[in-house]
Structure 1
Amino acid sequence: MSQLTTTSTTAMQRLPKRLSRLGELAGNLLWSWRPASRELFSRLDPELWQQTEHNPVRLLEETENLEAAAEDAGFVAAYHEAISDLDRYLNRRNTWTDYVYPEARDSGGVAYFSAEFGLHESVPIYSGGLGVLAGDHVKSASDLGFPLVGVGILYAQGYFRQRLDSSGRQSEVYEPFEPESRPLAPALDEFGRPVTVGVNLPGRELRLKVWRVEVGRVSVLLLDADIPENTPEDRELTSRLYGGDNRTRITQEIVLGIGGVRALKRVGLTPAVYHMNEGHAAFLAIERMRELVAVGRSFEQAQEEVRRSTVFTTHTPVPAGHDAFTGDLLWEFMTGWPEALGTDGHSFWLLGAKEGDDRFNMTYLAMNLSRNTNAVSEIHGDVSTEMLGRRITYITNGVHTWSWLSSEMFSLFNENSLGRAWREAPETPSAWSFVEELPPESVWRTHEAAKRKMIDFINDRLDLQAERSGGKRQALDPDALVIGFARRFATYKRATLLLSDPERLKAITRAADRPVQFLFAGKAHPADEPGKAFLRDLYSAPEETGIIVLEDYDMNIARYLVQGVDVWMNNPRRPLEASGTSGQKAALNGIPNFSVLDGWWPEAYNGKNGWAIGEEREFASEAEQDAEDVASLYEILENDLVPLFFSRDNSGVPGGWVDFMKESIMTVAPRFSTQRMVQDYIHKLYSPGLYARR
């Protein structure tokens, strides 16, 4: 793919000669996981850096400090070091891939399709865990030097900003994306021209502009219908993530799957393997079949050829979560496609449905046209196998170490480890053995520093929230045990389970000299009224319960929470949590998990790195499960967790608690790194397609 500067013309024109490559630095999201580069932008204009939500392109467009920075010897020296780091990273030729899969560089690599990418808060085209996982997948592929390109959608209004009124009622605020002021740029073809592609909709063609985000060594292509070539109504089709009705949903999936394949071709890429991250991207398979039939393959040959070079990851453990369309809607949008594939309507229908089904299921389409289908944890693999009626393997999710490790913990590790093994190969368990020898007081003081930083940030946000809504004023207590719960507010995650016995809860949170607070954050889908009701119930809980609800959860808030709370709590209705990764981010920072044995936690829990809520068994009813789980939750808080946290030595250090912190890091950091996860994808799922291309 042709390269270009990914910073706006306005910003480029303002740069002093001595800082001429600042725009290049801003235009590659590598800075988002390089502490020195982030610090450089913050140093340039600390207040504006916060106001722009850590968007370096807007920072460079708006700051008045460029000339002064160019005369500051210290800033210029830091600038040159950041540029050198960027160059070293991009030009390195001794990566993991170079050693293990050297032939991958010339194979065409992997195209990774996802409806959302959580790359950074400055590119707000994500809603939650699926998108953040996709972003971490891309970053680790970059770190490993693996040839991968992401494909997604540029949502003109992103997901939404969440506002809570004085009663805790959620409202949604949508804001323009303004791509020109973000770290992305138009994708160009081989002649240096901006790329557009078209997809057919009923009675018309939809034109799509293609944008590119640089993420270290990896590019992500984003498709955008909000361009003058389209009607005002059609420009809205890619405006909101997970917005609109089924017509909007099928349109966005055509844009992602069919438009994405065409975009790759227009920028000159021919991937060896296509990876569908959820069924939203499954139409890519029929577009690839269409291309093969057009050059002489039969329907059956095209189907087999596509299957050999496609893999599919499912994240959804309940049937209702899989997109399915009625026949009327499907045929309205798929008119002419059976003929283009050299088959009839019935055979086309069976690509995404079983005989007799009345809906075309995107998960079936993805499975039927993939070599492999994988779930995202061991327990999710079992659930998916039973639900989908075929054996589903699994690759457990992980997190990108450098995006989620606090600067405080990074410094502690750096100062107390011999060599760079934990930095170069975080997926290696032995690389983290040094953590066991860390002085308990050093670990605790490091956590206290991250916690203070989080409390200052969260309390400022809570003050603004109260001023805006006229609601109650809340604040985190620096002396309290702070338990974090932050995720999408779907009802199966049971955010309100904690409120089952308010009087018992008050006794826990208000015990003398042992204050406990629960910090909740998360968005409910705009159409999810039960999820919104959970938010209201928590917001309205008595002050004595220690519950605080923070609005507008995003990646920025997530970093503060997973780096600064004392415990990470998760109590979904087992077995409905496919994987979950927020607890992995917390454990990486020495924050123990307090969780139901669902998703990834059964693979990590060992009795010394956190606490298990409830039991791994089937229940006669949801009511019985809730009663058993909440009883376990209260008992652990009362008898184990709270007493251990407040058991301090003469220096104020909770030695037993620090043992849990160390064990969390040593057991979770390597095994649940996306560096391990992406290597698993390469070894198990990508390599057959790469070798086939070769």
Structure 2
Amino acid sequence: WRVREIGRERLVALVRARLRAALLTRGLSQSDVAWCDDALDPRVLTIGFARRFASYKRNTLLLSQPERLEALLLSETAPVQLIFAGKAHPADDSGKQIIREIVAFASRAAVRHRIAFVEDYDIGVARAMYQGCDVWLNTPRRPMEACGTSGEKAALNGALNCSILDGWWDEMFDGENGWAISSAEGYDDLNRRDQVEAASLFDLLENQIVPCFYERDDSGVSREWVTRVRASLVSLGPRVTASRMVRDYVEQLYEPTAERADAFGREGRDRARAVAKWKRRVVKAWDGVAVSDVTVEPAEAELGSARSVRATVELGKLAPDDVQVQLLHGTVGANEELVNPSTVPMTLAGPGDAPATHSFDGSFTCERAGRYGFTVRVVPAHPDLTTYADLGLVTWAQP
């Protein structure tokens, strides 16, 4: 707890100095910037938001409900303070407009001691924010966030993440190591969706995050907060380090590639030549591949129930060993697509009724409630293929 306090004190000192310097650069007098000495408070719950400014990241989501935000910032018993930092791409006018909105809000006399935008974001500012912020906020419009690595770095420094379940947080949030903002993906109206998700964020802040931070024991420590910080460090620390990333690259990519190159180079490269010959044959014959029929066992679709599927596949000049027939299943999205489908290899059941056709069997379990669907596809298969996508060939069952 004391380490977190020290980090917050250093961050507040840095932000005050940056604010003063920025205002003096604009031509304000020393008396005009005297208020900067009291900007922010090292004892107040501090929320950080530092990243590139882009419309899909919704950097101003908190500002969309100014009354609730002001109530949090100006609370006499459990105040919150916000620190924004980051830059927009020079060609991104909407990103620059987002910065203008934040700066305008943060310049209001009533709240400028509780909210700040730090200019000239750099490694020094980032380091201070990672070490000094209690909560790291991320509000992308799901599923637009590719990763969100700033939250990983914040977690390594003891900050707790509060984020939409997108990017890395969708994979690593466990219910104890931070907070998840509910996502309202069912709304086609993006403005309405933003309103709903902003309300969810404020509910989290008002009912969970702020009370957790300010509920102290006799020694002035929030035991529940410290427990969450420890849970975050234990669950996330080993998984978001650069050493783990490099180890994964070595074990999953570099070493297998080196072993593959060594194996292909033996015996006069006969194995490599055989694979190249197989690839040419498959590419030439792929136009003859088709899924001619798909049947599913008639049964009422219930959560947890198993469904058996048979696919009849035309292979033309190819053999069953040249392909893998896959059964994909999952929830059905708004555009009739399968959302994050599971893939099950189907097994050869025998020859079909027509020449050059074969039957393949598979089954799946309805794992989630709601609209659930499946489809079948055929992809190339060979023991020496790095991935079925190597040849860029796939044939789907037609609806």
TM-score range normalised by the length of the shorter chain: 0.5 to 0.7
| CA displacement 1:439-497 (0-9 Å, x = unmatched) | xxxxx011111221222222212211111124665422112111000000111111111
Whose relative contact order is higher, 1 or 2, with alpha carbons under 8 Å and at least 6 apart? 1
Q: Determine the structure 1 residue equivalent to 2:304.
A: none
1:488 aligns with 2:45: no
Output aligned runs, 1:125-140, within 5 Å: none
1:604 aligns with 2:172: yes
> Structure 1: how far apart are the matches of 2:109 and 2:69?
11
Deviation at 1:675, TM superposition (A): 1.5
Does the 8 Å CA contact 1:479/1:515 hold for their aligned counterparts? no
Q: Determine the structure 2 residue equivalent to 1:25.
A: none
Deviation at 1:685, TM superposition (A): 2.1
> Structure 2: how far apart are the matches of 1:528 and 1:575?
20
1:650 aligns with 2:214: no
Q: Which structure dedicates a bigger proportion of its chain to strand?
A: 2
Deviation at 1:516, TM superposition (A): 1.0
Q: Determine the structure 1 residue equivalent to 2:234.
A: 666
The residue type paired with residue 25 of structure 2 is: R
Q: Determine the structure 1 residue equivalent to 2:43.
A: 479
1:452 aligns with 2:20: no
> Structure 2: how far apart are the matches of 1:599 and 1:692?
32
1:513 aligns with 2:77: yes
Q: 1:569 aligns with which of 123, 137, 140?
A: 137
Q: Secondary structure at the match of 1:595?
A: strand
Does the 8 Å CA contact 1:597/1:616 hold for their aligned counterparts? no
Q: Secondary structure at the match of 1:670?
A: helix
> Structure 1: how far apart are the matches of 2:22 and 2:11?
16
Q: 2:95 aligns with which of 525, 531, 539?
A: 531
Q: Determine the structure 1 residue equivalent to 2:19.
A: 462
Segments of 5+ residues of structure 1 without an aligned counterpart are 1-443
Does the 8 Å CA contact 2:7/2:131 hold for their aligned counterparts? yes
The residue type paired with residue 24 of structure 2 is: E
Output aligned runs, 1:547-586, within 5 Å: 547-586=115-154
Output aligned runs, 1:164-243, within 5 Å: none
Percent identity of equivalent pairs: 47
> Structure 2: how far apart are the matches of 1:543 and 1:685?
55
Output aligned runs, 1:415-426, within 5 Å: none
> Structure 1: how far apart are the matches of 2:55 and 2:190?
12
1:690 aligns with 2:234: no
Q: Secondary structure at the match of 2:162?
A: strand
State the superposition RMSD in angstroms: 1.7
> Structure 1: how far apart are the matches of 2:124 and 2:161?
21
Larger Rg: 2
Q: Determine the structure 1 residue equivalent to 2:296.
A: none
> Structure 2: how far apart are the matches of 1:687 and 1:587?
30
> Structure 1: how far apart are the matches of 2:172 and 2:57?
20
> Structure 2: how far apart are the matches of 1:692 and 1:453?
51
> Structure 1: how far apart are the matches of 2:215 and 2:192?
34
Q: Secondary structure at the match of 2:60?
A: helix
1:636 aligns with 2:204: yes
Segments of 5+ residues of structure 2 without an aligned counterpart are 263-399
Deviation at 1:617, TM superposition (A): 4.2
Output aligned runs, 1:614-629, within 5 Å: 614-615=182-183, 617-629=185-197
Q: Secondary structure at the match of 2:78?
A: coil
Change (3 A) 1:616 1:622: closer
Deviation at 1:544, TM superposition (A): 4.0
Deviation at 1:565, TM superposition (A): 0.9
> Structure 2: how far apart are the matches of 1:625 and 1:678?
38
Q: Determine the structure 2 residue equivalent to 1:677.
A: 245
Q: Which structure dedicates a bigger proportion of its chain to helix?
A: 1
Does the 8 Å CA contact 1:578/1:599 hold for their aligned counterparts? yes
Deviation at 1:539, TM superposition (A): 0.7
Deviation at 1:624, TM superposition (A): 2.6
Q: Determine the structure 1 residue equivalent to 2:284.
A: none
Q: Determine the structure 2 residue equivalent to 1:504.
A: 68
Change (3 A) 1:683 1:536: same
The residue type paired with residue 450 of structure 1 is: G
Deviation at 1:693, TM superposition (A): 4.0
Task: Provide TM-score, normalisation by structure 1.
Answer: 0.35
Q: Secondary structure at the match of 1:513?
A: coil
> Structure 2: how far apart are the matches of 1:485 and 1:544?
21
Count of residues in correspondence between the two structures: 251
> Structure 1: how far apart are the matches of 2:6 and 2:76?
25
Does the 8 Å CA contact 2:54/2:95 hold for their aligned counterparts? yes
Output aligned runs, 1:2-151, within 5 Å: none
> Structure 2: how far apart are the matches of 1:616 and 1:569?
18
| CA displacement 1:103-130 (0-9 Å, x = unmatched) | xxxxxxxxxxxxxxxxxxxxxxxxxxxx
